[in-house]
């Protein structure tokens, strides 16, 4: 039997038997296990080589089902849930006992999301448990946006990869909680700050790096490709690194002063931040397959998903570069 496919029944049977299945979502692929089954969840941590202090997002297919394992009572979070689910939004909610400590790393809140992908929604509707699923990449590496990305790095270790095609949004969900009564964003992602603020007004941003992060996705040197990446003004970076063989990541049609042997990769020729988000992780993976020495990337406009893209590029880049 091929490990990659679209067979919901196969996916369901593995999950019911404490297996691990990669699932498509609109943001990135997830590495899923029964969130009520500690033995299954532990496999996810092992496969990813993920530290136990980094909790998992729990995925379900309806707001009604959330009451089994979490408490959605805050009016502003309810507003966001009603407006943006299914979608690239994760809410931090008070958890219930049924959730193993491992899922939340012992934290009082649980991260919950209803993803917007028809295959995964169909799968979730067939299950009587939610799915704990981090992004389906080895810890610290770029998230997968295609089934073959998962197969390449984790194919040997998972039971099945449910192939839902290329992810439409392409970067991970935006994580929102409440702090001192105010909606707070802990991770920038596939739902823009502007869209969230349109619903609930001004929000706090807690997008920090710290040793004890609320969202370890915010650790520096996360989401990183295999080659050193530098972010900034492209022509400056090109002159500075002129002796190296470079991958130049472009956004828009401006000519760059590349030299022979350099390779250009386009995020969005027409300068559309949504298109750039969709292409970002695929492009970084494609660059890793080439023999260039370094990656140079521009800073995108700080509008819409541009903010989240800049955040990812910065975290993927060489510190203090």
Using CB under 6 A, list all residues that contact ligand TXA: 25, 27-28, 30, 54-57, 90, 92, 104, 107, 109-111, 113, 115, 133-135, 172-173, 175, 187, 214-217
Q: Of ligand TXA, Mg ion, none, which one does residue 110 interact with (CB within 5 to 8 Å by kind)?
A: ligand TXA
Nearer to ligand TXA, 104 or 310 (CB): 104
3-class secondary structure, 9: helix
Q: Of ligand TXA, Mg ion, none, which one does residue 305 interact with (CB within 5 to 8 Å by kind)?
A: none
Q: Are 159 and 47 in contact (CB under 8 A)?
A: no
Q: Which residue is nearest to ligand TXA (CB)?
A: 217
Nearer to Mg ion, 48 or 95 (CB): 48
Q: Are 58 and 30 in contact (CB under 8 A)?
A: no
Question: Smallest distance, Å, CB 134 to ligand TXA?
Answer: 3
Question: Smallest distance, Å, CB 201 to Mg ion?
Answer: 29
Q: Of Mg ion, ligand TXA, none, which one does residue 30 interact with (CB within 5 to 8 Å by kind)?
A: ligand TXA
Question: Smallest distance, Å, CB 10 to Mg ion?
Answer: 25
Question: Rounded to whole angstroms, how far apart are CA atoms 89 and 84?
Answer: 7
Question: Smallest distance, Å, CB 100 to ligand TXA?
Answer: 12
Which residues make Cβ contacts (< 8 Å) with residue 77, sequence separation at least 6? 91, 93, 176, 177, 178, 183
User: How many CB atoms are closer than 10 A to CB 208?
Assistant: 10
CA 174 remoteness from chain centre = 9
Question: Smallest distance, Å, CB 134 to Mg ion?
Answer: 5
Alpha-carbon torsion, ordered 203, 172, 81, 306, to 10 deg: 40
Scored b (16 or more CB within 10 A) or e, 58-70 reads: bbbbeeebbeebb
Q: Which residue is nearest to Mg ion (CB)?
A: 135
Nearer to Mg ion, 90 or 116 (CB): 90
Question: Rounded to whole angstroms, how far apart are CA atoms 119 and 162?
Answer: 8
Q: What residue ranges bind Mg ion (CB under 5 A)?
A: 135
């Amino acid at each position: 039997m091929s490990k990659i496919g679209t067979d919901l029944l196969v996916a369901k049977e593995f999950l019911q038997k404490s297996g691990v299945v990669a699932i498509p979502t609109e943001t990135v692929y997830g590495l899923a296990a029964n969130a009520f089954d500690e033995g299954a969840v532990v496999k996810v941590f092992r496969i990813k080589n993920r530290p136990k202090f980094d909790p998992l997002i729990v995925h379900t297919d309806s707001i009604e089902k959330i009451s089994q394992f979490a408490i959605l009572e805050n009016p502003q979070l309810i507003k966001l849930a009603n407006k943006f689910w299914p979608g690239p939004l994760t809410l931090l909610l008070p958890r219930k006992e049924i959730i193993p400590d491992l899922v939340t790393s012992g934290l009082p809140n649980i991260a919950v999301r209803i993803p917007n992908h028809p295959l995964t929604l169909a799968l979730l509707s067939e299950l009587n448990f939610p799915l704990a699923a981090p992004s389906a990449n080895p810890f610290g590496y770029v998230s997968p946006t295609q089934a073959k990305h998962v197969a390449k790095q984790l194919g040997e270790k998972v039971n099945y990869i449910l192939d839902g095609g290329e992810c439409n949004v392409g970067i991970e969900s935006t994580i929102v909680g409440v702090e001192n009564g105010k909606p707070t964003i802990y991770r920038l992602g596939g739902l823009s700050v502007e869209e969230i603020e349109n619903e609930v007004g001004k929000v706090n941003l807690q997008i920090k790096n710290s040793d004890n992060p609320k969202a370890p996705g915010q650790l520096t040197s996360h989401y990183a490709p295999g080659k050193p990446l530098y972010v900034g003004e492209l022509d400056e970076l090109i002159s500075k690194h002129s002796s190296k063989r470079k991958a130049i990541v472009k956004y828009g049609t401006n000519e760059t002063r590349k030299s022979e042997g350099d390779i250009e990769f386009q995020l969005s020729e027409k300068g559309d931040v949504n298109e750039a988000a969709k292409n970002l992780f695929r492009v970084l993976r494609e660059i890793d397959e080439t023999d260039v020495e370094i990656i140079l990337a521009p800073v995108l406009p700080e509008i819409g998903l541009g903010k989240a893209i800049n955040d990812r590029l910065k975290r993927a880049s060489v510190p203090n570069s």
